[in-house]
Structure 1
Amino acid sequence: MKIAFLLSIHFCLLVLSHCYGGNGYDPLESILNIQRSKRSDHIITKELTSEISYSPVYVGPQDGLKDLDKISSLPGEPSGTDFDQYSGYVTVDPNHGRALFYYLAESPIFSSNNPLVLWLNGGPGCSSFGNGAMMELGPFRVNADSVTLSRNKYAWNNVANVLFLESPAGVGFSYSNTSSDYTTGDIQTAKDSYTFLVNWLERFPEYKTRDFYITGESYAGHYVPQLAQLILQNNKIANQTIINLKGIALGNAYVDEETENTGLFDYFWTHAIISDEIHEGIISNCNFTEAGTITDACNDYENQAYAAKSNINFYDIYTPLCSPSSNSTPSITEFDPCTENYIGSYLNIAAVQQSLHAKPVNWASCNGFILGQWTDSPFTVLPVIQDLMANGINVWIYSGDTDARVPVTTSRYSIDKLKTSLKTPWYPWMYKGEVGGYVVGYQNLTFVTIRGAGHFVPSYQPARALAFFSSFLGGNLP
């Protein structure tokens, strides 16, 4: 009976799989609607700061697992690959059979000295390996034939050892043998990610003393600061693994529901997506604060705004949509809007899954079932970010300026709410003689824009993204 139930859950996971940003699927809008319905029912979310408390962390035996996780080569990999890569599972709950999948791309040079960077994609429910590694900042891109790979010369592992984590269980290749684990939320995701890190560092002990950074985008605007705060809390506990956290970087990040909404519709208006009348209707009728009342008039104007947007690429308003007849090979500097299709096909090849040491599964970019069962998502994580800043963590917020999902206006409004003092006034930063974007320095906070980039910054502007990332690691303004 239990096996039949688990199979039915697995079937649901497959049916509710989606492409991130493709075919009209918008996981962030879904979680916003879920949270809005809870507020309509007077269910107010609590700050995560008071929710996560220390509990003993499971640490399992890791001897010999690193060698087993080493990837000899990926099918279709180009010749001349000059770096080590690993992938596999780390158990975070042996009683439930819950295990998280990771992929590590070490640096081609100076890998023994370069820092360790954890990358997290958001959703919630979207894959950090498929979306983050294969579509954005990883060492390879999937070609249009869906079976061969090309080298991404702007991969972030050029300057860091980059660790991609599929989180929570049920996302990508990560899994649990206990069906109730697929009902989860922010708190459990942070705890599991921390447990993963403690065990992974036992498997790769050479990284224990290395400088450590956490980066991510979109709903990882929740994941990254929450995990960073949990690391700081647990670092204070005697006989606990010390993780040498130095900084976090949040890309086009959802960190505050009020500014997400106000920034989005202001971006629509300033980029000629909606009319003056719709924008004025939203301003006059919508109160996006946590205590604000959601009115029918507000809902009506929001619906008008989304209808006016029509079928543009929400994640990069100037990028063409994927055409079913397209069969062009994606270049590294010109993003192919059909890339997600190539990745989905490639990661479902049996030989690819075998080379990754992954369990056979119908891999998908995002998991709608996980999203639909999400249990907790605080209205804002700005207090968490303020706590990190107060504890000396280097916080960077970066924004691709052609993203309409979490636009640059949202990031600026969120920073305003942090009320930190200005140190370096706004100025253009340059890359190869052109403006790469703009930057402003605050007390314990840096804000960077990447010109011409959408929601998935390293996909649309890989060279500028690597330049920004290198500055972040160096602790210097670009």
Structure 2
Amino acid sequence: MASLIFKLLFLQLVLVLIQHAYSGSIIRSLPGFEGPLPFELETGYIGVGEAEEDQMFYYFVKSESNPIEDPLLVWLTGGPGCSSFSGLVYENGPLAFKVETYNGSVPTLVSTTYSWTKVANIIYLDQPVGTGFSYSRNPLADIPSDTGSAKRVNEFLRNWLAKHPEYFSNPFYVAGNSYSGKVIPAIVQEISNGNYICCKPQINLQGYVIGNPVTYYDHDKDSRIPFAHGMGLISDELFETYRYLLSNYWANNKSVRRALKVVKGSKGKWERCDYAVHCKKDIISSIPYHMNNSIKGYRSLVISGDHDMTIPFVGTQAWISSLNYSVIDKWRPWMVLDQVAGYTKTYANKMTFATVKGGGHTLEYKPEECSIMFKRWISGQPL
């Protein structure tokens, strides 16, 4: 009996080792960054769909605090067609580009102080397929869609967790911004239904975070005129394009692709946002998904930069109000170092809405404030 138990335990260990062997590549250093990386980075592909034809590329950064217990997030950038690498280096990741005159060499990367990975594990996922370094082995693959993306991300996550079983019990959140705000509530519903109906591994789903989210275009666009009426124009400096070009120079460098273990020949020119990636926009409004997720009791944080005219916060307030949940924490300022960093309100459906003072369409305009907000919210503290 003892011998049988030993064999079973040994077999289980071997299976775990095999899963880890195929889960991705540990990256110790990156071109453009001086010295070894001060955090744990893994990159790789997870196959989804029929015969795993769709190969979805990810960057996984372990929490710098307590990765075994800290929350696990998947981060989706908008577009559709924008790489999650944009989130990693411009918004809430542990790396950023040093803005300097480009001289033809690999752009310089530096550490950040505001990374959400200080308190959470984050999977930065390139989706839908065709975005970033994700690709399809089938040249005749169907055009992705909003609802299809929700199913693919759910499948990706279950396959990823099967190869990373040490994260089964971590509290899990879906997060992202801009156009992904359309898809994230559908992904949450897809994961929730999968947990209830059929699928293993179970995902310890707790909620979601969306920044300046596209929700319902009629509400979003109709809010622009009253917003513009009450606000001054944003300075040209706020829309500077140059830093974005550095990511294109970096990701198209051959040494970078080798370091990231990108499959050779799977991708032509890398674009931070490739708007040639076609996606059927078949979710007209994500409001019904928000309602369903609220009924199931999931937490949510909705962030709005108060200088964003693409998705003005007044439009976001309007659809949140349409859910008709009572307010349990009235409109008030939230503070950083005794300074007003924005305003917030919390509803009975566990949804917290927060503006970021001086914030734009993405988190990059106020990364320190957004980091503090996230750390408070994810730990259950009032903003």
TM over 0.5: yes
**One-letter identity of the residue aligned with 1:412:** Q
- Call closer, same or farther: CA 1:239–1:415 in 2, change over 3 Å: closer
Alignment of 1:147-296 (within 5 A): 147-181=107-141, 183-238=143-198, 240-272=200-232
Match of 1:82 among 38, 58, 66: 38
Q: How many residues align?
A: 357
Q: Is the 8 A contact 1:425 1:440 kept in 2?
A: yes
Q: Scaled by the length of structure 1, what TM-score is found? A: 0.72
Match of 1:354 among 233, 255, 258: 258
Contact 1:120 1:166 in 2 (8 A): yes
Question: Which residue pairs with 1:280 in the alignment?
Answer: none
Normalising by the residue count of structure 2, what TM-score does the alignment of the two structures yield? 0.89
Contact 1:452–1:461 (CA<8 Å) still a contact in 2? Answer: yes
* Contact preservation (8 Å) 2:162, 2:201: no
- Residue number among 266, 276, 282 corresponding to 1:369 in the alignment: 276
- Describe the superposition over 1:376-419 as per-residue Cα deviations: whole angstroms up to 9, x where unpaired: 32221111001101101001111011111111111111112111
The letter for the 1-side match of 2:64 is P
Alignment of 1:386-465 (within 5 A): 386-444=291-349, 445-457=351-363, 459-465=364-370
Whether 1:472 and 2:377 are equivalent positions in the alignment is: yes
What is residue 290 of structure 1 aligned with on the other side? Answer: none
1:23-60 deviation line (CA, Å, top 9, x unaligned): xxxxxxxxxxxxxxxxxxxxxxxxxxxxxxxxxxxxxx
Partners of 2:282 and 2:211 in 1: how far apart?
Answer: 18
> What is aligned with 2:13?
none
Shift in Å, 1:347:
0.8
Deviations 1:261-311 (A, max 9, x none): 2112221222256xxxxxxxxxxxxxxxxxxxxxxxxxxxxxxxxxxxxxx
CA offset at residue 476 of structure 1? 2.6
* Runs of 4+ deviating beyond 3 Å: 78-81
Partner of 1:309: none
* Contact 1:72 1:355 (C-alpha < 8 Å) held by counterparts: no
Counterpart of 1:119?
75
Structure 1 letter corresponding to 2:353: F
SS in 2 for 1:409: helix
Q: 2:94 aligns with which of 136, 139, 161?
A: 139
Partner of residue 320 from structure 1, selected from 231, 237, 242: 237
Provide closer, same or farther for how the CA distance between residues 239 and 257 of structure 1 changes in structure 2, counting only shifts above 3 A.
closer
Contact 1:122–1:223 at 8 Å: present in 2 too? Answer: no
Shift of 1:243: 0.4
Question: Matched residues in 2 for 1:469 and 1:87: separation?
Answer: 24
Q: Secondary structure at the match of 2:91?
A: helix
The answer to whether the Cα contact below 8 Å between 2:73 and 2:174 also exists between their aligned partners in 1 is: yes
Bigger RCO (CA 8 Å, 6+ sep)? 1
- SS in structure 2 opposite 1:320? helix
CA deviation vs aligned residue, 1:344-398 (integer Å, no higher than 9, x gap): 101111111111111343110122222xx32232221111001101101001111
Whole-angstrom distance in 2 between the partners of 1:112 and 1:318: 43
1:104 alignment partner, one of 60, 63, 67:
60
Q: CA deviation at 1:239?
A: 5.5
Instruction: Give the letter for the 2:62 counterpart.
Output: E
Give the letter for the 1:348 counterpart. Answer: N
Is this contact kept in 1: 2:30–2:37, CA < 8 A? Answer: no
Instruction: Give the Cα separation in 2 of the matches to 1:398 and 1:354.
Output: 36
Structure 1, 70-79 or 444-453: larger mean CA deviation: 70-79
Q: Percent identity?
A: 31
Q: Distance in 1 between matches of 2:155 and 2:52?
A: 14
Taking structure 1 as reference, are residues 107 and 272 closer, same or farther at Cα in structure 2, changes over 3 Å only?
closer
Q: Describe the SS at the equivalent of 1:392.
A: coil
Taking a change above 3 Å as real, the CA distance of residues 147 and 426 of structure 1, as seen in their structure-2 partners, is same
1:192 is paired with a residue whose SS is: helix
- Distance in 1, matches of 2:308 and 2:333, equals 19
Aligned alpha-carbon RMSD (Å):
1.8
Relative distance call for 1:78 and 1:450 in structure 2 (3 A) is farther
| Deviation, structure 1 residue 178 | 1.8
Unmatched runs of 5 consecutive residues or more in structure 2: 1-17
Deviates more, 1:192-201 or 1:230-239: 230-239
Distance 1:240 1:342 in 2: 40
Q: What CA distance in whole angstroms lies between the structure 2 residues aligned with 1:84 and 1:96? A: 27
Cα distance in structure 2, aligned partners of 1:462 and 1:151? 13
Alignment-mate amino acid for residue 363 of structure 1 = W
What SS does structure 1 have at the residue aligned with 2:197?
coil
Aligned to 1:71: 27
What SS class does the counterpart of residue 27 from structure 2 fall into? coil
SS of 2:202's equivalent?
coil
Secondary structure of the corresponding residue to residue 169 of structure 1: coil
Contact 2:147 2:283 in 1 (8 A): no
Displacement of 1:250:
1.0
